Amino acid sequence: MYNWSMNYKLTWQEKSILFLSTVVIMLFITCSSPLFAFNYWDDANVFFTMGRGIINGQVPYRDLYEQKGPILYFAHAVCALISSKTFIGVWLLEILMGTVFSFYCYKTVKLYVDPPKYAIFAVPAFLSAVYTIKMINYGDCAEELCFPILTLIMYITLRSAKEAAEKGDKDRLPGERESLIIGVLTGVLFWIKYTFLGAVIGLCIYMVLFTIKPKTWVRLLRRIGMFLAGIVIVTIPVLIYFAAYGALDDLWQAYFYNNIFLYSDYDWKEIYGTGIFDIPVFGSFVSIIFDMLGSILLFPSYGWIMLIIVIGPFLVKDKSRDNVLALTFITLFTCLLGVFTKPHIVYYYGYITMYLAPFGILVVIRLVILAAKVFKDRGKFIAILMSCMFVALCFAFLVTGKNMYMLKYRKEDYPQYRFAKQINEVEDATILTYDVMDSGYYLASDTLPNTPYFCYLNIEETWPVILQEQHKMIANGEFDFIIAYHDDYLAVWDKYEIVDYTTFVFRDYTGDVLEEPVYLYKLKAD
């Protein structure tokens, strides 16, 4: 019989292999790595500008406007404390979250199988496949940082079901201590990007469903209380911070009201040619199907990884199998419902579903165990062969990753550093990225914004406050430099002139090659 009570913990050798492999993966996958001259992604730079602003006394939403949650910015403030001029701190953050992911992926697998020692090498190979899905773009996206948290939540829940099933206990839900931990992790997710809570809502549905049969309602209520207490533990410091700076209204406006009401204020019929997405309930189901199909067509590797993942729960062969199947598919559905509530043009939102990667690894390791049984007379040969194959696969995924071409660029090849030389000729220069998301111009020039609305944020059409404030400051000549994608603003920006122009060739998150023109406007001398 499988000795679950002894075997799901990781040995120090396994921890070492998983940690070192995560470091290697993050060395080649993310452009935050010291191997790369620069991380060109807008999101990563916006987060980092917010973090740099925090350590310089600026308050999110009040002094720097962006729409994601404050804990994401606080984490990047810590990264900025490590290094405010490079992405080394962000790289360490990605390693930390990648390590959490790898540890709990393998711990989840070990709940259900007793893998051969060499099977540990399957984890880096599979994680290399996960992290080379084009959805990750250049590294440091909210999805990448958050799906390890959901993997940990899943592990806690699955372990509780496993242990209870082995003991013959009908109550297979997480205990009060585990519920508190899940609550804390949920609080972190809530204050990073609350649309990621779909999977947690699925977990809550699962807990109610599995309470009906054993009728342990009193215990469920206690667990709910501990779960909510965990959320409160995270929430109170956040609210105290914003209250201390008189920015609670700004927090509400930016993170809640604008995200909920203004981002949904689009005419989907005009965009997609059909009003089907606006039909209550039915439209949400259709949206999930279309968005998943769009994600799979755009990112084929995401499709085959998800296929393996959904097979995994059916390979669980113990008394908690019903729990595994219910938890997996309920949370997957609610997770997709959370990120695909409307048809999204940006399909990488589905990347958050990689929290279910342990079940993909379970499929791979089941195949390894099958091969070991078939060739049991050549066990040592199979161990060496499998280990080499997994290492080779890991290497293949890494070297063919979307971002490898960025290794050829030096800092001076980027528009950000080209423009920074001219910006830094002006003492205490102020800049604005006008129709451009902040893709590192503040970082490269070592400047901070002098307006909350420091870059383009995809909400200008429904919340004109951003453009109104920018246009007012431009008319007053309050920026020394403006970075823009277009050269036709001179007709209205009479105080500015174009002093530099360049293009940069890169691949967007779909993998398409783009040549991006960028113009540097400078305030005219009096």
Confidence of residue 4 (pLDDT cuts 50, 70, 90): very low
* Closest listed residue to residue 463, CA positions, set 260, 249, 278: 260
Please give the average per-residue pLDDT across 442-455, as a whole number.
96
Compute the mean pLDDT over every residue in the chain, rounded to the nearest whole number. Answer: 91
- Identity of the residue numbered 523: L
- Note the pLDDT of residue 461: 84
Is residue 1's pLDDT more than 50?
no
For 79, what's the count of Cα atoms within 13 Å in the CB-facing half-sphere?
29
Inter-axis angle of helices 321-339 and 300-311, nearest 10: 150
* Closest listed residue to residue 365, CA positions, set 381, 386, 380: 386
State the Cα–Cα distance between residues 166 and 377, nearest whole angstrom: 33
Distances (CA, A) of 89 to 66, 98, 379: 21, 14, 43
**Percentages of the chain per state (helix, strand, coil), in multiples of 5:** 65, 5, 30
Distances (CA, A) of 43 to 1, 122, 284, 317: 49, 31, 27, 42
Counts for the chain of helices (H) and strands (E), in that order: 20, 4
DSSP string for 213-263: TTT-HHHHHHHHHHHHHHHHHHHHHHHHHHHHTT-HHHHIIIIIIIIIIIT
State the Cα–Cα distance between residues 51 and 60, nearest whole angstrom: 9
Please give the average per-residue pLDDT across 202-226, as a whole number.
90
Please give the average per-residue pLDDT across 187-207, as a whole number.
96
Confidence of residue 267 (pLDDT cuts 50, 70, 90): low
Structural domain spans, the chain: 4-405, 411-523
Strands 431-433 and 496-507: unpaired
The H or E element spanning position 416 is helix 415-423
Strand partners, 520: 483, 500
pLDDT, one tens digit per residue, over 136-179 is 789 999 999 999 999 999 999 999 999 999 888 888 899 999 99
Please give the average per-residue pLDDT across 122-145, as a whole number.
92
Q: How many CB atoms lie within 10 A of CB 398?
A: 20
State the Cα–Cα distance between residues 442 and 196, nearest whole angstrom: 29
State the Cα–Cα distance between residues 119 and 390, nearest whole angstrom: 9
- Note the pLDDT of residue 260: 87
Is residue 345's pLDDT more than 80?
no
- Note the pLDDT of residue 290: 83
Confidence of residue 294 (pLDDT cuts 50, 70, 90): confident
Please give the average per-residue pLDDT across 323-333, as a whole number.
96
Strand partners, 433: 483
- Note the pLDDT of residue 378: 82
The H or E element spanning position 206 is helix 198-212
Cβ–Cβ under 8 Å, residues 73 and 47: yes
State the Cα–Cα distance between residues 152 and 503, nearest whole angstrom: 43
Please give the average per-residue pLDDT across 444-452, as a whole number.
96
pLDDT, one tens digit per residue, over 364-385 is 999 999 988 888 778 788 889 9
Is residue 269's pLDDT more than 70?
no
Is 28 exposed, middle or buried, given 0-12, 13-18 or 19+ CB atoms closer than 10 A?
buried
Cβ–Cβ under 8 Å, residues 82 and 88: yes
State the Cα–Cα distance between residues 236 and 241, nearest whole angstrom: 9
Confidence of residue 388 (pLDDT cuts 50, 70, 90): very high
